[in-house]
C-alpha cells in the first residue's frame, strides 16, 4: 500500500499533508505533518498539483480556498469536527446580527459558510496574537470554541462575546485526573491544548497548539510529560524524546477516548483511493472561495506580521 501510494503521488505530482492527530502510519508517509495553521501555510506555498489533506474536512477546505486551481482531496469526507457542528450557519448569522459594530473572530475549526461570515480566522497557534491586534472600538465575537475563547480573553485582557461550542475530545478532560497524575509523578511537567477547559489549563506549565506542544517537548528536558490532548501527537513526541515518559490525560481508564473519532476515520487505503479513483475531492464555489479567502488571508497577514 505504501509503495503504491508513493508511486501514485509521483505520477500525479501529489503531496500528502497530515495533521498530528492522524494515525502513525499516515504521519509516516506524509510529505509534511503539522498543526492546522502550519498545514494551511504549507498548502499556500506548495507547487504540487494535488493535495491530499489527511486531516478533517475543514482543513481540506482551507487548503482548497488557498489553492483554487489545485485539486484537494480528503481521505474520508465524513471527517468532521464537533466544533464545526456546534456552529450551524443560520444560528451563527442571527448571533452576529444581534450585535452592533461586530468584529467576528472565527476559529479555523468551522464550516466554509461560517468562515464566509467572519472577519478573521484564527487557529490555536495565533489566536492570542490576532485578537490583541483588533481595533478596540469593535464588539469582538469569538466562535465556536468557548474554552479557547476564554483562554484568549484571559491572556489578552480583551473582552469578547463567546459562542458556546467545544471540541468533544479536549472538553472531556478533567482537572481532578491531572491532579491525581501530578501526585503520582510530582516532577512531571503538565501541558495542554487550549481547547481544554479553564480549570485544566490553570494547572498547566505550558498551553499551546499542537505544534507548540511538540516544540515544548523538543526544547525541554523533563523525564515525564503529562499531556492533555489528542492521542496522535504522542507519536511525534515519542520520536523527539524516546527516553521520556508521556502520560496522556484521559477522561477515564480507556485511552481510546482520546482518539478524535473524525481524525481517525482516515486510513492508508482511503488515501490510496483518493489517488487512484480521485474520491472525496473538495469542491467549493467561486463565491465561497472568494469570501472565505478574505478572512483566511487576514489571519495569515495578522499572524505573520
Ligand atoms: P491545532 O491548531 O493545534 O492543530 O488544533 C486543531 C484541532 O483540531 C485540535 O483539536
Ligand atoms: Fe474537532 Fe476536536 Fe477532533 Fe480537533 S480533536 S478535529 S477540534 S473534534
pLDDT digits (tens, 9 = 90+) for 210-246: 999 999 999 999 999 999 999 999 999 999 999 999 9
Contact 194, 208 (CB under 8 A): yes
- What residue owns the CA closest to ligand 2's atom 8? 81
Which residues of the chain are in CATH 3.40.50.10800 domains? Answer: 2-79+263-283, 83-167+293-304, 173-248
Report the C-alpha gap between 222 and 205 in whole angstroms: 12
Tell me, what's the pLDDT at 136?
A: 85
Ligand 2 atom, smallest distance to 21 CA: 5
Find the residues whose C-beta lies inside 6 A of ligand 1: 35-37, 109, 123-125, 167, 193, 195, 209-210, 230
Grid cell locating 173: 478532560
Report the C-alpha gap between 243 and 213 in whole angstroms: 17
**Sheet bearing 224-228, strands edge to edge:** 206-207, 189-192, 224-228, 245-248
By residue count, the chain amounts to 305
- What residue owns the CA closest to ligand 2's atom 2? 167
Paired sense of beta strands 14-19 and 120-122, if any: unpaired
Which band of pLDDT confidence, cut at 50, 70 and 90, is reported for residue 38? very high
- Kindly give the interhelix angle for 36-45 and 286-304, rounded to the nearest 10 degrees: 110
157: left (phi > 0), else alpha (psi -120 to 50), else beta? left
Tell me, what's the pLDDT at 2?
A: 94
Share of the chain above pLDDT 90, in %: 98
| Superfamily in which the 83-167+293-304 domain is placed by CATH | NadA-like (3.40.50.10800)
Average pLDDT over residues 40-44: 92
Q: How far is CA 98 from CA 91, 119, 260, in A?
A: 11, 16, 33
Output the average pLDDT for the chain: 97
pLDDT digits (tens, 9 = 90+) for 80-137: 999 999 999 999 999 999 999 999 999 999 999 999 999 999 999 999 999 999 988 9
**253 pLDDT above the threshold of 90:** no
Contact 27, 235 (CB under 8 A): yes
SS (HEC) of the chain: CHHHHHHHHHHCCEEEEEECCCCHHHHHHCCEEECHHHHHHHHHHCCCCEEEEECCHHHHHHHHHHCCCCEEECCCCCCCCHHHHHCCHHHHHHHHHCCCCEEEEEECCCCHHHHHCCCEEECCCCHHHHHCCCCCCCEEEEECEHHHHHHHHHHHCCCCEECCECCHHHHCCCHHHHHHHHHHCCCCEEEECCCCCHHHHCCCCEECCHHHHHHHHHHCCCCEEEEECCHHHHHHHHHHCCCCEEEECCCCCCHHHHCCCCHHHCCHHHHHHHHHHCCCECCCCHHHHHHHHHHHHHHHHHHHC
Grid cell locating 247: 502520560
Is 81 touching ligand 2 by the criterion CB < 6 Å? yes
Q: How far is the CA of 21 from the centre of ligand 1 (A)?
A: 8
Is 65 touching ligand 2 by the criterion CB < 6 Å? no
Is 209 touching ligand 2 by the criterion CB < 6 Å? no
Contact 209, 125 (CB under 8 A): yes
- CATH topology (fold) of 2-79+263-283: Rossmann fold (3.40.50)
Structurally, at CATH architecture level, domain 173-248 sits in 3-Layer(aba) Sandwich (3.40)
Amino acid at each position: 500500500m505504501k509503495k503504491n501510494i508513493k508511486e501514485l503521488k509521483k505520477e500525479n505530482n501529489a503531496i500528502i499533508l497530515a495533521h498530528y492527530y492522524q494515525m502513525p502510519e499516515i504521519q509516516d508517509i506524509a510529505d509534511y505533518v503539522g498543526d492546522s495553521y502550519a498545514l494551511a501555510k504549507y498548502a499556500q506555498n506548495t507547487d504540487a498539483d494535488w493535495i491530499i489533506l489527511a486531516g478533517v474536512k475543514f482543513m481540506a477546505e482551507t487548503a482548497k480556498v488557498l489553492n483554487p486551481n489545485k485539486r484537494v482531496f480528503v481521505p474520508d469526507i465524513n471527517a468532521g469536527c464537533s466544533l464545526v457542528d456546534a456552529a450551524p450557519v443560520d444560528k451563527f448569522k442571527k448571533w452576529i446580527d444581534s450585535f452592533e459594530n461586530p468584529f467576528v473572530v472565527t476559529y479555523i475549526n468551522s464550516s466554509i459558510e461560517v468562515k464566509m461570515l467572519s472577519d478573521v480566522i484564527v487557529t490555536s497557534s495565533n489566536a492570542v496574537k490576532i485578537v490583541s491586534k483588533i481595533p478596540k472600538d469593535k464588539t469582538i465575537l469569538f466562535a465556536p470554541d468557548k474554552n479557547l475563547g476564554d483562554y484568549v480573553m484571559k491572556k489578552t485582557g480583551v473582552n469578547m462575546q463567546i459562542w458556546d461550542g467545544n471540541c468533544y475530545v479536549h472538553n472531556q478532560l478533567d482537572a481532578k485526573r491531572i491532579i491525581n497524575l501530578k501526585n503520582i509523578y510530582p516532577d512531571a511537567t503538565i501541558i495542554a491544548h487550549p481547547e481544554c477547559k479553564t480549570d485544566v489549563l490553570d494547572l498547566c506549565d505550558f498551553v499551546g497548539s499542537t505544534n507548540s506542544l511538540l516544540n515544548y517537548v523538543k526544547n525541554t528536558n523533563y523525564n515525564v510529560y503529562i499531556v492533555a490532548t489528542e492521542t496522535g501527537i504522542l507519536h511525534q513526541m515519542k520520536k523527539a524524546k524516546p527516553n521520556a515518559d508521556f502520560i496522556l490525560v484521559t477522561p477515564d481508564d480507556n485511552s481510546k477516548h482520546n482518539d478524535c473519532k473524525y481524525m481517525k476515520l482516515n486510513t492508508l487505503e482511503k488515501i490510496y483511493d483518493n489517488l487512484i479513483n480521485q474520491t472525496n475531492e473538495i469542491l467549493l464555489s467561486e463565491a465561497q472561495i472568494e469570501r472565505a479567502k478574505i478572512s483566511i488571508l487576514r489571519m495569515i497577514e495578522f499572524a505573520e506580521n
